[in-house]
Amino acid sequence: EVQLLESGGDSLQSGGSLRLSCAASGFRLSTYVMNWVRQAPGKGLEWVSGISGRGGTTYYADSVKGRFTISRDDSKNTLYLHMNDLRGEDTALYYCAKTRSYSFDYGLDVWGQGTTVTVS
Binding interface with other proteins (CB under 8 A): 35, 37, 44-47, 50, 59, 61-62, 95, 97, 100, 104-109, 111-114
Beta bridge partners, 105, equal: none
Taking the complex as a whole, how short is the minimal distance between the CB of residue 114 and other proteins, in angstroms?
6
CB 80 within 8 Å of CB 22: yes
Nearer to other proteins, 6 or 90 (CB): 6
Nearer to other proteins, 53 or 112 (CB): 112
CB 38 within 8 Å of CB 48: yes
Task: Count Cα neighbours of 35 within 13 Å in the Cβ-side half-sphere.
Answer: 25
Nearer to other proteins, 32 or 95 (CB): 95
